[in-house]
């Protein structure tokens, strides 16, 4: 009988935190035990953490997983005290007011690589103890926050364990870094930290493939191993949720939506169609961390509802109620196109998807498995308008049908965990 190997997963985000960053390693941990790996989680104490969202429902999925928590020093908690909504920013650094810009300056020049680095001293101490007491041979760090990878860097140097660094999002290529002032020596120090991680880990995992890997390979001189594992969907839980579509044409967005996203062409398309003025049976339902100003803009032209952050099961239910889904990537073409778990869950609904990205992007390649979906650039206004009308008129005639891609099960969390296990054995 094959011996069960213990693996320490170091993740800042863990239930009750919500969001895709939590779900990626929650589901890997759920299925690792099927392949003779026992996951052990090291995370931050929720009472000390700076979470952008909470999803208590995810707690039920991790009750059987051995988990350790530590304290942390969290400057972002002080930031939230000065905001009327009390929210921790997610995928955005606010800059609307002088106070926002001042705090952004402090955050980007005094907390390197990010403002959650205050967890590191506590996590390093605990990780070393767990590795010693439980004879751990493998560790995984996952970021953002990319400061978590510095925990892996220190722990590997001391213990010589095998270490995989999981880049869920870019580090230096984060879209918002170019919009704020940073001292040159701070930029160079941050670049040096990323290079150390890329060079020192036994392997680098990303949520995308060759395009981003080429960017990372060009940063280092060592011959590193790069692997890609998409964010996926939990087929077992997903299939339990019924698809109930309403008696109006339901356009759905879920996730984070801010001024960093390329939503404005879609807004222009909705303005041109103007469902309110033209009495079309169209509604726009959003869920997640969506800026109020964006909701207000869409509300002028289409019946718009924002549900805020939803528990994951309710978010899936909303996706499966759609007649059309929309995905917004980040502005510009210089940043790597990252694949969220949401996009895989979109595909599993069988609904058409409008993906606004650049040509030959990773998301464009992924969506090619769906005959009902299409990628448009920010300059394709007329094409987007036409695409919405085609799908709306098809629905109006009663011709809407789910078109779930034949190979969608390739992206199930179980099958993706098989890939993770093969990577662990390779390194």
pLDDT at 93: 64
pLDDT at 238: 92
Burial-class residue 152 by CB neighbours within 10 Å (0-12, 13-18, 19+).
buried
Residue 83 C-alpha from the chain's centroid: 24
Which segments of 313-386 are extended strands (E)? 324-328, 353-356, 374-376
Write out the chain's pLDDT in tens, 427 residues.
Answer: 467 899 999 999 999 998 888 999 999 999 999 999 999 999 999 999 988 889 998 998 899 999 999 999 987 666 555 554 445 555 556 666 777 778 778 888 888 999 899 999 999 999 999 999 999 999 999 999 999 999 999 999 999 999 999 999 899 887 667 777 889 999 999 999 999 999 999 999 999 888 889 999 999 988 999 999 999 999 988 999 999 999 999 999 999 898 888 899 999 999 999 999 999 999 999 999 899 999 999 999 999 999 998 999 999 999 999 999 999 988 765 556 677 788 999 999 999 999 998 767 888 888 889 988 999 999 999 999 999 999 999 999 999 999 999 899 999 999 999 999 999 999 8
Which segments of 193-350 are extended strands (E)? 203-206, 226-228, 249-254, 282-287, 303-306, 324-328
- The token pair at 272 is 């041109």
Helix (H, G, I), strand (E, B) or coil at 257: strand
pLDDT at 6: 96
To 10 degrees, the CA torsion angle through 385, 389, 390, 391? 110
User: Rounded to whole angstroms, how far apart are CA atoms 204 and 120?
Assistant: 20
Element (DSSP H or E) covering residue 108: helix 98-110
- The token pair at 139 is 């560790």
> Would you say the pTM of this structure is higher than 0.75?
yes
pLDDT at 86: 46
Do the domains 5-232+412-426 and 235-396 sit in the same CATH topology, yes or no?
yes
Helix (H, G, I), strand (E, B) or coil at 248: coil
Answer yes or no: are the C-beta atoms of 29 and 60 closer than 8 Å. no
Q: Does domain 235-396 have CATH number 3.30.70.600?
A: no
Helix (H, G, I), strand (E, B) or coil at 341: helix
Answer yes or no: are the C-beta atoms of 46 and 53 closer than 8 Å. no
**Summary count for the chain: helices (H), strands (E):** 15, 13
Q: Which residues contact 126 (CB under 8 A, 6 or more apart)?
A: 42, 68, 70
What are phi and psi for residue 290, nearest 5 degrees? -115, 130
Burial-class residue 201 by CB neighbours within 10 Å (0-12, 13-18, 19+).
buried
Q: Which residue in 185, 214, 184, 186 sits closest to 198, CA to CA?
A: 214
Which residues pair with residue 335 across a beta bridge?
none
User: Rounded to whole angstroms, how far apart are CA atoms 187 and 164?
Assistant: 25
User: Rounded to whole angstroms, how far apart are CA atoms 150 and 198?
Assistant: 11
pLDDT at 107: 84
DSSP string, 201-220: SSEEEESS-HHHHHHHHTT-
Q: What are the boundaries of each domain within the chain?
A: 5-232+412-426, 235-396
pLDDT at 78: 63
CATH class of 5-232+412-426: alpha beta
Query: Sign of dihedral through CA atoms 292, 298, 301, 302?
Result: negative
Helix (H, G, I), strand (E, B) or coil at 282: strand
């Amino acid at each position: 009988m094959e011996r069960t190997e213990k693996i320490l997963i170091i993740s800042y985000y863990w239930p009750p935190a919500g969001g895709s960053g939590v779900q990626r390693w929650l589901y890997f941990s759920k299925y690792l035990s099927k392949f003779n790996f026992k996951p052990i989680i090291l995370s931050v104490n929720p009472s000390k953490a700076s979470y952008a969202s909470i999803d208590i429902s995810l707690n039920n999925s991790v009750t059987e997983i051995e988990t350790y928590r530590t304290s942390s020093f969290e400057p972002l908690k002080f930031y939230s005290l000065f905001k009327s909504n009390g929210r921790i920013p997610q995928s955005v650094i606010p800059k609307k007011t002088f106070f926002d810009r001042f705090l952004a300056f402090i955050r980007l020049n005094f907390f390197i690589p990010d403002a959650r680095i205050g967890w590191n001293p506590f996590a390093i101490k605990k990780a070393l103890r767990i590795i010693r007491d439980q004879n751990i041979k493998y560790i995984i760090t996952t970021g953002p926050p990319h400061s978590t990878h510095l925990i892996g860097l220190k722990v590997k140097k001391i213990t010589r364990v095998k270490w995989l660094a999981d880049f869920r999002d870019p580090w230096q290529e984060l879209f918002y870094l170019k919009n704020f002032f940073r001292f040159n020596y701070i930029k160079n120090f941050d670049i040096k930290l990323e290079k150390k991680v890329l060079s020192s880990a036994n392997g680098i995992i990303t949520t995308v493939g060759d395009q981003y890997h080429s960017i990372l390979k060009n940063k280092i001189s060592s011959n590193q191993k790069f692997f890609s594992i998409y964010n996926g969907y939990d087929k077992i839980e997903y299939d339990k949720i019924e698809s109930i579509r309403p008696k109006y044409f339901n356009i759905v967005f879920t996730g984070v939506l801010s001024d960093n996203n390329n939503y404005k062409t879609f807004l222009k398309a909705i303005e041109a169609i103007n469902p309110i003025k033209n009495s079309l049976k169209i509604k726009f339902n959003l869920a997640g961390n969506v800026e109020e100003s964006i909701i207000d803009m869409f509300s002028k032209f289409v019946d718009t509802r924002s549900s805020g952050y939803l528990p994951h099961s309710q978010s899936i239910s909303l996706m499966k109620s759609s007649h059309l889904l929309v995905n917004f990537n980040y502005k510009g073409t210089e940043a790597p196109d990252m694949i969220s778990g949401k996009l895989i869950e979109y595909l599993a609904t069988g609904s058409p998807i409008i993906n606004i990205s650049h040509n030959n992007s990773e998301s464009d390649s992924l969506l090619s498995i769906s005959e009902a979906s299409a990628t448009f650039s920010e300059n394709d206004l007329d094409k987007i308008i036409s695409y919405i009308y085609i799908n709306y008129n098809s629905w109006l005639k009663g011709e809407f049908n789910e078109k779930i891609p034949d190979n969608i099960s390739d992206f199930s969390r179980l099958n993706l965990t098989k890939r993770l296990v093969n990577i662990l054995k390779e390194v």
